[in-house]
A and B are shown apart, each in its own frame.
Chain A
């Protein structure tokens, strides 16, 4: 039945351009807050979605640096360039609300992706990893491998990233529940130079004092995994995040216990699809079963999964499975399509 549903919706979509005037095709823009390896998957996701669903465009547009003003200017320019649907990672959970409202005001559907805007905003909903939950689960996995009273250190991302505070709080909560102590939190190191400097300095000074490392941002995960490998340490247990090769190899070789996978591809793919549906007459259901997080009450979890040494070889399959599930159920769960 799910296959029929899929074929049916694809047929409907295929007919859509024929029914609508030629220049009404969806041109989706996927806009992160700045350059970062996490979003690389969005480019492919957009391209695939454009192909699979016959979109006018689903383009990945990156501001040249992590700066709110740049993202705003880029978004303003994209409107003028004719894009009519926007998937945005907020440069700031509140600072981006203004531009999101303006974009929504032009009639374009706007969705927050991988990071949420603070309610109320013009975004239809937010789809991303439940980062708090992911950090919580990751820390629990870490603690399951450590003794009672363990000391752990937490390396995390940009302070302007809406997810960072959620992660800090979640790790703290998991540590308290697991009888462990978060000795130090080093934030704002989601870039190679500060990460390299701070993580190495920390390990050089305190490696003997800690039992575990939890990293909740891509770059610190990579740098910490490399550092553990460099000092040849397998005593300190570490749980990382995302799927950088360095981290996966370190898991395979035993330096890192595991990683919390996120689903950037799924976010981009499903997001582009939904944007198109919203432009084709669908509405978000008033009573849709959204989840809540600290920022918004219209949250859709794009999925997260722990990958340990047994799963690393196959992580792509795990994420694809989650994406497929989410995709197949999405329209019926969250959208109201009169046509």
Chain B
């Protein structure tokens, strides 16, 4: 899946493929897998790969959640808060109300959509930048959730649901990863084949021009925030399935622990922060690479304490490289 280039009919030159983000990421993934496996052969053990896939599944969802907002040129700092809110709702429905888990999941997704809608409406109505709006709503959503739950976890999660989160396919694949792949495919279809997807991209690329060509930019921004909320909810619910409990601190204080993975995935994957361009496969590979690097660094006893430094450096490096790459390509008139 090459980048969505708005149908400009670019030549698929070999140089362009080789320099594309996705290919680079695949190379990096293979490279690091080889490095880690040579240092510690247990890296390729079934348990290790299973755990890796399962953790990556959640990070990929978080990346998708931010990606759909970045594409319209905005930010969503509330991804963690929404994810936790939806997860706690699901937990509440299962434990306190005894709902069967599919209904509880639907409830959680609905909450995610609603919170995302609130973000979208606030941003559109106020005309303010999504940064400050979602900074404020991150605090409000998290605060309401903590207040309602009194910071207590929900521990009576339906066993069928947790069984799903803990099960293994062929001993090595987590069903959660399959969910992420399925969502990724749906998103790809959305952005490449549907009118809505094209309108979202157009809004991000140039809001004024999009308005002039009949796209209701305000509607698009609200839609992308609703979508972001739903995806964040999926990520939160995945975590509940995996741990078997809905814990308010699952995304850190105010949900801010999700911020770094939320940006790393899309940025590594080639989604422009200015909007108008995205790569679903890139985000998938980017989040996967980040998870693999974290796992590998932990394995190499580099100390759990240095992982965050490396991730920050990686983000910086990725942004700088992306900038350099794009200026190189534009000079060569390849992009």
- Chain A positions within 8 Å of B, measured between CB atoms, are 61-70, 72-74, 76-77, 79-82, 92-99, 101-102, 106, 118, 159-160, 188
Give min CB distance, B90 to chain A, whole Å: 14
A95-B244, A102-B166, A159-B152 known; A76+B48 contact, CB < 8 A: yes
| B40 is an interface residue with CB less than 8 A from chain A | yes
B188 at interface, CB cutoff 8 A? no
Taking Cβ atoms with an 8 Å cutoff, the residues of B that contact A are 40, 42-43, 45, 47-48, 51, 55, 150-153, 155, 162, 165-166, 239, 242-245, 247, 249-250, 252, 257, 294-295, 298-299, 301, 304-305, 307-308
A82 to B40, CA, bound (A): 10
CA distance A101 to B152 in the complex (A): 23
Identify 11 new A-B residue pairs, CB closer than 8 A, beyond the known A74-B298, A80-B42. A63-B304, A64-B305, A64-B308, A67-B250, A73-B55, A76-B48, A80-B43, A80-B48, A82-B42, A95-B153, A160-B249
Q: Which residue of A lies closest to B42 (CB)?
A: A80
Once A64-B305, A82-B42 are accepted as A-B contacts, the answer to whether A77 and B47 lie under 8 Å apart by CB is no
Quick one: which of B245, B294, B298 contacts A92, CB cutoff 8 A?
A: B245
B298→A73 contact, CB < 8 A: yes
Residues in B with CB closer than 8 Å to A67 are 249-250, 252, 257
Select B247's contact among A61, A63, A68, A73, beta carbons within 8 Å: A68
Nearest-CB distance from A277 to chain B (Å)?
25
A selection of 27 A-B contacts at a CB cut-off of 8 Å is A62-B304, A69-B239, A69-B257, A72-B242, A72-B243, A74-B298, A77-B295, A77-B299, A80-B40, A80-B43, A80-B47, A82-B42, A94-B153, A95-B153, A95-B155, A95-B245, A97-B244, A98-B165, A98-B166, A98-B242, A98-B243, A98-B244, A99-B243, A101-B166, A159-B150, A160-B151, A160-B249
Q: Are A92 and B247 in contact (CB under 8 A)?
A: yes
Is there an interface contact between A92 and B252, defined as CB atoms closer than 8 Å? no
Q: Is the CB of B305 within 8 A of A92?
A: no
Q: Which residue of A lies closest to B252 (CB)?
A: A67
Of the candidates B55, B243, B294, B298, the one whose C-beta lies within 8 Å of that of A95 is: B243
